[in-house]
Structures are given as C-alpha cells and as structure tokens.
Amino acid sequence: MSTSAESASQRPLRVAIVGAGPAGVYAADILTKSNEVKGGDFEVSIDLFEAYPAPYGLIRYGVAPDHPRIKGIVNALHKVLDRGDIRFLGNVTYGRDLTLHDFRSFYDAVIFSTGAIKDADLDIPGIDLEGSFGAADFVSWYDGHPDVPRDWPLDAKEIAVIGNGNVALDVARMLVKHADELLVTEIPDNVYRGLKNSPVTDVHVFGRRGPAQVKFTPLELRELSHARDVDIVLYPEDFEFDEASDEAIRTNNQIKTMVNTLTNWLVEEHAEAEEPSSRRLHLHFLHSPVEIYDDGGSGKVAGIKFERMQLDGTGHVKGTGEFIDYPVQAVYRAIGYHGSPLDELEYDAKRGVIPNEGGRVLDAEGEPVPGIYATGWIKRGPVGLIGHTKGDALETIGFLLEDRLTLPPAKNPDPQAIIDLLEERGIEYTTWEGWNKLNAHEAALGAAWSESTAADGVVRERIKVVPREEMIAISRP
C-alpha cells in the first residue's frame, strides 16, 4: 500500500469521479484517451460513482423521454462504459455512504460532476400556493426518478409555464401532448396513467423577452409542432423586434431559423383545418411574472398576473406598466436549474456551483484544494447544451494531468479496498454488469407490453423501472 508520491508514480493513478452523467463519463473518457495515458507516461484506474442505481444522470432523469437525440447520446455513453476500463459503482451517495475523507484515502484525485437538479427560485407573491411547481420536480416525476413520489397532481385544465428555455418547452410539451403518443418512449407506467387522465386543454408558455431572445433551440421548437391534436397559438402583439433583435436575426442562423418558424406559424395559424384541436399550446413573449394568486383565500392557484414588457433597443426589456391576468390552475417555473452544496467543499450559493478555477476546486481562501476537481454544471452552472460538457471536461482533465506528479497520494490505492469498505458498510452498490441486467429487463418489459397489445400496433422499446429497491434487486448479483 503506497503512502508516498514516489511509490504512487509506480502504480496506476487512482481517480474517483462522483456523478455518472455525461459530465462524469466524458471526463473519464478524456482522461483514459489523453496523450499521457495512451503514450505510456502513466496508467490510470478510474471509478465512476453514481447516487442512483443506474448510470447516465440527466440523460436518464432530466430530459423529456420523447427527444429523438437521447438514444444517440445514451449509445455513446454506453460505448465508453462498456469498454471495461472504467468501473461503475452505482447507488452510492457522496456525503452519506462515502465522505471526502474516504475518497482521499482510496484515490489520488477526485472529480465532482454532480450536476444541478434543483429549480432556481422565483421570488414573486404566491409562488408557494398549491398548484405552483418547479419544473425540475416535474421532470424528475415524468422521467421516473426513484426518489420522487409516484403520483403527480394533474388536475388543471389551464396551465402556465414560466420560462423560454428548452426545459420550459419540454415541460409544456409533456403537459399538452396526448399520453398515447408517449407510449413509444421509455415512459414509466405510472407516468403514462397520470398524463392519460389529465384534463388539460390549454398550456401557456411565457417568456420575458421577445421571439429573437428565446433560449430554446430550433429542434425543441420543431418538436412542438409534432404533437397530434394540439394547436400552437401565437399572438401578433408579442412579435416586437428592436435594433438588437434585427441584428441578431441577420447575423445568427439559429435565431433566424427560430424567428422564421414562429412568424410562419403566426401567419399559418388562421389557415388551419376547420376542425380545432382538443388542446392548445400558447406561446407568449414580453411577459414578466408579477404574482400568482388564489381564489378567495383557497390557497390554490387560480391565476397569474404578468406585466407587459417592451424591448429597449439592446435586446433587453423594460416594463410598460400594463398588467394582464390569465386564469390558470397550475404554474410551472422553468427558469433554470441550481446546483446543490456538497459536504466538506466550499459552495457558491448564488451561482449554485463549487468555487473553482478551470476545474480546480478552491478552498475558503480561494486556494486550490490539492487533488479535488469539478466538471459539468456543478463547475460552471447549469448553462449550455450537453455538447458543451465535453470541452468543460477537457479543461478540467488538462489541469489534473498538469498536477498529477504533485497529487496527495492515496493511502490505500488497491481497487479492491473501496469495494471492501462498501460491503463492510452494507451499501448495496450496483455495477456495470448490473446495469446491463436492468437495461435488458426494461427492454423485456417493453417487448412484453408490445406483444400483449399487438393489435394496437404500438411498439415499446422499453419501460423504465421506477422503484429504487426494484432497480437494486434486478442489478445486484
């Protein structure tokens, strides 16, 4: 058992990564493929820890199940972990099952890639009324997160979604889409039943700025139009463009594509078939939320008040003093995610990140903590798409490689030692082999469902298992 930097250099560098979403998997992959490792400068031994029994993090528990590109990302992550040179250890929670002291004892370096799973706060009156929800909680529910309740209150006919990013559109689409359309996804049965019985007729999506300032992507926008029996409703008064908007449309192809799509929908709206759809998705711009209110002290959401905004020439907005009320029975805030603090590490509560410089984690004095790193949303905040996570991991791994000769060596670097500790503490950890068993089980559930309802012509590739205890039972040897 090595205790010195000299002997540490004669064995594989032991690295723990906490969080097995895209950020953690990319970091592991980049480290194993680095020139230093491939060139034989040193060997590396990586353990990838995950709080859930299954891998993939936000891809499994934070993205709408009907996204066509999810499968490609999952396949890419699967290929990395299936190579066998990165060990997956699931159902292990940092701060509860293992402490920072534990990690320091068994690893030379620790990379935190725990992401951001909580909703950013919206400080307006009525935000705590019954029927007011954070989008992140709803996303966790419809994605079958093992640690959230199985039921969700879906009793509203009219719903407001606050936000103009991809999550807001995901939430709106899941609320307004007919549940039968989701059967081709891995949607859990309890989620299907809940959405199937929803009485919703109208979902309103509100953004503070104009159509040229939205934060969602063209793909997200196009997916809205694919929902069957759902009309998209837009409002001419919301289509205001200032000098900055015009410049953005001229110089940014993505913005140009989205504005063109929206304006085309606006023009085509009245040329739709005579038979109106049973559900409507309303897209509103230049609306700033002011208050959520109840009905005579009932404590339940009855409506939401907005101030009309106008563009100020720079692409930003200012209030007009005009207020509009919308009767709704539920409000979902989708204004961003926020990272959570981690035991024994500094935390920037305002930004929801671990303080760091390029991925080197900092202490209370702003000095790098030897051997401790961060990547992904817990490093830079919940901004950017999944693809941005690769560049982020590249930076963090670059600094780890730079530091590798001065890392504080693990007291007990034997790969079996951490397994012995988990077993000694009675932690029911899961493995990559266990995930392959769970993966096959979920696919079998889908196949059985498809066979039993063959007359419907719906093929389900898989059905997600929700209860944590069931996931563990299937995954464990």
> Across residues 262-268, what is the average pLDDT?
89
pLDDT digits (tens, 9 = 90+) for 383-406: 766 777 888 999 999 999 999 999
CA dist 469 → 63, 146, 273, 429 (Å): 23, 9, 49, 12
The whole-number pLDDT of residue 5 equals: 43
Question: Pairing state of beta strands 330-333 and 132-134?
Answer: parallel
Which residue has better confidence, 179 or 5?
A: 179
Which residue has better confidence, 54 or 119?
A: 54
Answer whether residue 183 shows pLDDT above 80.
yes
The whole-number pLDDT of residue 270 equals: 52
Taking all residues of the chain, what is their mean pLDDT, rounded to a whole number? 93
Strand partners, 47: 16, 87
pLDDT digits (tens, 9 = 90+) for 329-343: 999 999 988 899 999
Q: What is the 3-state secondary structure (H, E, C) of the chain?
A: CCCCHHHHCCCCEEEEEECCCHHHHHHHHHHHCCHHHHCCCCCEEEEEECCCCCCCCHHHHCCCCCCCCHHHHHHHHHHHHHCCCEEEEECCCECCCECHHHHHHHCCEEEECCCCCEECCCCCCCCCCECEEEHHHHHHHHCCCCCCCCCCCCCCCEEEEECCCHHHHHHHHHHHCCHHHHHHCCCCHHHHHHHHCCCCCEEEEECCCCHHHCCCCHHHHHHHCCCCCEEEECCHHHCCCCHHHHHHHHHCHHHHHHHHHHHHHHHHHHHCCCCCCCEEEEEECCEEEEEEEECCCCCEEEEEEEEEEEECCCCCEEEEEEEEEEECCEEEECCCEECCCCCCCCCECCCCECCEECCEEECCCCCEEEEEEECCHHHHCCCCCCCHHHHHHHHHHHHHHHHHHHCCCCCCCCHHHHHHHHHHCCCCCECHHHHHHHHHHHHHHHHHHHHHCHHHCCCCCCCCCCCHHHHHHHHCC
The whole-number pLDDT of residue 116 equals: 86
Q: Which of 62-71, 178-187, 390-399 has the lowest mean pLDDT?
A: 62-71
pLDDT digits (tens, 9 = 90+) for 230-248: 999 999 999 989 999 999 9
The whole-number pLDDT of residue 215 equals: 87
CB neighbour list of residue 252: distance below 8 Å, 6 or more residues apart: none
The whole-number pLDDT of residue 9 equals: 65
Counting residues of the chain whose pLDDT is more than 90, the rounded percentage is 82
Tell which residue, 51, 54, 56, has the closest CA to residue 75: 56
**Alpha carbons 282 and 273: distance in angstroms, whole number:** 18
At 444, which helix (H) or strand (E)? helix 432-452
> Across residues 124-128, what is the average pLDDT?
96
The whole-number pLDDT of residue 8 equals: 57
Answer whether residue 412 shows pLDDT above 60.
yes
Tell which residue, 208, 124, 161, has the closest CA to residue 332: 161
pLDDT digits (tens, 9 = 90+) for 9-31: 689 999 999 999 999 999 999 99
Answer whether residue 6 shows pLDDT above 60.
no
The whole-number pLDDT of residue 133 equals: 97
The whole-number pLDDT of residue 186 equals: 93
Report the SS3 class of residue 268.
helix
Which residue has better confidence, 278 or 382?
A: 278
pLDDT digits (tens, 9 = 90+) for 422-476: 999 999 999 999 999 999 999 999 999 988 876 577 888 899 999 999 999 999 9
Instruction: Tell me the pLDDT band of 68, cut-offs 50, 70 and 90.
Output: confident
The whole-number pLDDT of residue 4 equals: 41
Predicted structure pTM score? 0.93
The whole-number pLDDT of residue 292 equals: 98
Report the SS3 class of residue 114.
coil
The Cβ-side half-sphere exposure at 18, using a 13 Å CA radius, reads: 25
